Structure 1
Amino acid sequence: MEKYNIKLEQDTAKYLQIYNHIKKMIVDKEIKEHEKLPPIRKLAQYIGVNNTTIVKVYELLENERYVYKTVGSGTFVSVLKKDKEEVMVKKEGVIHFDSGNPSTNMFPIQDFKSAVNMALSEEGSSIFEYDEGLGFDDLRQKIVGYLEDKGIRTTKENVQVISGAQQGIDIVCKGLINYSDVVFVEEPTYSGAIQVFKSRGAKIISIPMLDDGIDIGILKLKLEKIKPKLIYTMPNFQNPTGISYSPYKKKKLIELAEQYDFYIVEDDFISDFKFESEDNKPLKSYDDKNRVIYIKSFSKILMPGLRIGIVDIPNELLKKVLWAKHSSDISTPGLIQKSMYYYMEYFNWNNYLDSVEKVYNQKYILAKKLINEKLSDRLKVRNSNGGINFFLELPRGYSSQDFTDFLLDKGVSVVPGTYFFDNLLDDRFFRINIAKSSIQDLEKGISIISDNLDEFFRQYKNTLALKSNKIFY
């Protein structure tokens, strides 16, 4: 316990001093990866502060990904992302099943370069001025037609151009969420959304996912007791599970939003493609109650570095979200907006989407076949019908943190399940993302996982129990 000894100054908040002290020990490796931090009450007594101060410290450390919690066991030091990146840089030939970005060989570089030149030629110096408000008028009108093809009827006055889906989630929260408001999320879900909600001081309640979408029964039980401001969803090919909602659940969710008076934030990153789904229509296309705030990202279907997307906003929320966007960055860069418009208008956007769909579909079918053949006899594989993510589960008694470190040494990088849960009961899950990998890497990477699984099971048997029960002084 001596290393937790800290002399508190009077002119700085106590929780910040303790947070910085523990954070420094983690970064400097004075506290090792997966080491258990002292229990809240014990540390509070040792330092001489209230229990709530340590609770706040641990929450802040968790928000910043320095620690992770295991219910019933305690709080443990995470594997720092920087450390993993350094290992990857040193280790050549790592197969990346951790990145959700598309392969660079899919990028339409030459056509988009022509679109940029066309935008510069047609728009002149005005392209570098602030484009305040909802965004470039012609692009928003083009987006209206694009959304209509997806079954979404809207107007350009309801479309806000944004700098990627992450900003879309952020400005919706900034405009609508106040401290202590309740937000429902799917479990598991996108970690970036969890962090945004926590940064706004929202109370997060997780609703489990079934194979056909969110668990409506549990959702209704929660709604009878608690009123959320929002529910955050990915109804098509969800990240990280790949699950898609059935038409029944899409309609039912909108009915519940109307009945219990809350809004739905739909994060749509890849519903453009059908894969094996019976219904890849956006939730927004079913929205006859004006309850869905629709966020559309182009990162997974075009080029993520463009940082462009849109939010389609119900009329009564427009002013709040527009203010939040303006306070964030005034506007998405005009060069990006206008280049995007010229690309969609003059370079056969639909043909491009068809070509991307063929690539993703080929990868998905192969990955699903390989995972079922090589891994499903020893790992539980979450059922999905498309997308770029597969969610797998280790047997009880094993940790995904251990598994991701083990696999990295073998030349494969995956994402541990700790990233996708607000409160993780059991750290046995991991995600394989196929967006970046080539066909050859898919075959090789999944074979490496299969060939080394038994070694992992032997080497790490019972280590989770030992780790959780170890006491550090």
Structure 2
Amino acid sequence: MEKYKLTLDDNNSKYIQIYNYIKQLIVENKIEEHEKLPPIRKFADFIGVNNATIVKVYELLEKEGYVYKIIGSGTFASSLNIKKKSEIKLNKDVVHFESGNPSSDLFPLNNFKQAINMALEEDGASIFEYDEGNGSEELREELCSYLKNKKIHTRKENIQIISGAQQGIDIVCKGLINYSDVVFVEEPTYNGALEVFKGRGAKIISIPMLDDGIDIGILKLKLEKIKPKMIYVMPNFQNPTGISYSTYKKKKLIELSEQYDFYILEDDFISDFTFDSKDNRPLKSYDKNNRVIYIKSFSKILMPGLRIGIVDIPMELQAKILWAKYSSDISTPGLIQKSMYYYMKCFNWEEYLKSIDEIYTKKYRHTKVLLEEKLGDKLKIRDSVGGLNFFIELPRGCSSQSFYNFILEKGVCITPGTCFFDNIMDDRFFRINIANTNMEDIKRGITIIENNLEEFITTYENGKYIRSNKIFY
């Protein structure tokens, strides 16, 4: 406990002082990766503060990614801290299956550069003024046409331009979710959304995913006892599993939202592409009752650094969400909005989407075949019909956090499943994402996993990753 000893300044916030001190210990590796932090009561007594202060410190550390919690076991230093991530990115020999951003080779730089010039020439200095409304009217009209092709019939008045899907989730929550409101989520799900819900003080209830979408049976059982304010879903090529909802489940979810009076927050990041799906229509396209709040991100299909997306909002919620957007950043930059408009209008947007569809579909099918050939008899691979994510299950009793460390040393970076669960009870899942990798690296990475899997399982079963007061997860 000696390394946790610190002198507190009574003139400054105690929990911030403790937070900064623990964070520094983790960054400097004085608290090693996966080392267990002191229990809350013991730590509080040791440095002379109340238990609530340490609870607040651990919650902030978890939110920032420096620690993770295992129910019934305690709080542990994360393997995914900032220092580690920067070291990984500098190593060009590592196969990166952890990044969800598209490869920069796909960026339409020349055409978008022309679109930027057109925006500057046509709109002049006005492009740098604040836009206090829903966003560029021209862009919203163009987006209505784009959404019409996806069978979403909306009006420009319903569309809010946002600075990426993460902001969309955030402003919807600011507008709708109050402390202790209930939010249902898929299990597993996107960790960025989980953090937003937790930040609003929401009570999160996870509903398991089946191969054709959310488990409707369990969802109905929960709805009979608990009334959620909202359910957050990714109906097409879900992150992290790659699962797509059947048409029946899409329609059933909307039916239940009307019956039990809740909203559906749909996060659509890649339904533009069919892959091998029989129904890649957004949930919103089936919505007749204005129950679906639809977020569309362009980060996976264009350039993530643009930070642009849309929210299609039922009219009765417009005022709340518009104010939440304004309070976040007033407006998405006009230059980005107008450049996006000219790019969609003048540079054959549909042809561009078709070209990306072909590239992603080839990568998806190539990866699926390799995974089945090389790992299918050793690991359980979650069935999917498309997307950029594959969710893989290690043998029962193994830990994805341990596998992350082990396989990184061999030259492959994956994402441990702990990132995608609200309460992780059995950490044996991991995700690989193929957005940023080429065909050769996909094959090389999967081959490395194949060649080293037996060594990991044998080493793990022999107890290498469990010693003294450390538990490796």
Taking structure 1 as the reference length, the TM-score comes to: 0.95
Partner of 2:445: 445
**CA shift for structure 1 position 419:** 1.2
Deviation at 1:90, TM superposition (A): 4.7
- Comparing 62-71 with 243-252, greater Cα deviation is found at 62-71
Deviation at 1:460, TM superposition (A): 2.4
Q: Does 1:393 align with 2:393?
A: yes
- 1: distance between equivalents of 2:284 and 2:89? 41
- Structure 1 match to 2:343: 343
Q: Which residue of 2 aligns with 1:82?
A: 82
8 Å Cα contact 1:102/1:303 also seen in 2: yes
Q: Does 1:269 align with 2:269?
A: yes
Greater mean alpha carbon deviation, residues 325-334 or residues 67-76: 67-76
Displacement, 1:33?
Answer: 1.0
Comparing 459-468 with 194-203, greater Cα deviation is found at: 459-468
Q: Sequence identity, in percent?
A: 69
1:317 corresponds to 2:310: no
User: How do 1:9-408 and structure 2 match up within 5 A?
Assistant: 9-408=9-408
User: CA-to-partner distance for each residue in 1:263-290, whole Å, 9 max, x for gaps?
Assistant: 1110000001111111100000111111
Following the alignment from structure 1 to structure 2, what is the Cα–Cα distance between the partners of residues 350 and 298?
14
Alpha-carbon distance between aligned partners in 1 of 2:464 and 2:379, rounded to the nearest angstrom: 17
Query: Structure 1's 25 and 290: CA in aligned 2 closer, same or farther, altered over 3 A?
Result: same
Report the Cα distance in structure 1 between the residues aligned to 2:209 and 2:118, rounded to whole angstroms. 46
Partners of 2:97 and 2:444 in 1: how far apart? 11
Give the C-alpha shift of residue 46 in structure 1: 3.5
Question: Contact 1:397–1:464 at 8 Å: present in 2 too?
Answer: no
Letter of the 1:181 partner, please give it. D
Partner secondary structure for residue 281 of structure 1:
coil
C-alpha deviation, 1:400, in angstroms: 1.3
Distance change >3 Å, CA 464–CA 241, structure 1 → 2: farther
SS at match of 1:460: helix
Cα drift, residue 333 of structure 1: 1.0
3-state secondary structure, aligned to 2:339:
helix
Cα deviations across residues 87-136 of structure 1 (Å, max 9, x unaligned)? 32453322111111111111111111221222222222222222220111
CA distance in 1, matches of 2:34, 2:250: 40
Classify 1:156/1:398 alpha carbon distance in 2 versus 1 (closer, same or farther; 3 Å): same
Q: Deviations over 1:359-396 (max 9, x none)?
A: 00000000000001101211111111100000011112
Is contact 2:66-2:81 (8 Å) kept? no
Structure 1 residues not aligned, in runs of 5+: none
Q: CA deviation at 1:55?
A: 2.9
8 A Cα contact 1:73 1:468, kept in partner: no
> Could you list the runs of 5+ residues in structure 2 that have no partner in the other structure?
none
CA distance in structure 2 between the aligned counterparts of 1:2 and 1:438, rounded to whole angstroms = 48
Partner of 1:463: 463
Shift of 1:20: 3.1
Q: Is the 8 A contact 2:240 2:420 kept in 1?
A: yes
SS in 2 for 1:463: coil
Q: Relative to structure 2, which stretch is displaced further, 1-10 or 358-367?
A: 1-10
Residue identity in the other structure for 1:29? N
Distance (Å, rounded) in 2 between the aligned partners of 1:50 and 1:169: 34
C-alpha separation in 1, matches of 2:326 and 2:432? 36
Secondary structure class of the residue paired with 2:392: strand
Distance in 2 between residues matched to 1:48 and 1:243, nearest whole Å:
49
- Quick check: 406-415 or 53-62, which moved more? 53-62
- Whether the 8 Å contact between 1:70 and 1:424 is mirrored in structure 2 is yes
Q: TM-score, normalised by structure 2?
A: 0.95
Residues 1-10 or 30-39, more deviating: 1-10
CA contact (8 A) 1:434 1:442 kept: yes
Question: 1:84 Cα shift?
Answer: 2.3
* Cα deviation 1:315-372 (Å, max 9, x = unaligned): 0000111111111111111111111111111111111111100000000000000001
TM-superposed deviation, 1:301: 0.6
Deviation per CA, 1:150-183, whole angstroms, max 9, x where unpaired? 1111100000011111111111111111122221
Equivalents in 2 of 1:227, 1:464: separation in Å? 46
One-letter code aligned to 1:332: T
Aligned pair count reads 471
Residue 34 of structure 1: how far off its partner (Å): 0.8
> SS at 2:294's partner residue?
strand
Bigger Cα displacement from structure 2, 42-51 vs 289-298? 42-51
SS in structure 2 of the partner of residue 241 of structure 1: coil
How many angstroms apart in 2 are the aligned matches of 1:156 and 1:92?
A: 44
For 1:290 and 1:464, the matched residues in 2 are separated by 54
Cα offset for 1:2?
A: 2.9
| 8 Å Cα contact 1:213-1:235 kept in structure 2 | yes
- SS of the residue corresponding to residue 437 of structure 1 reads coil
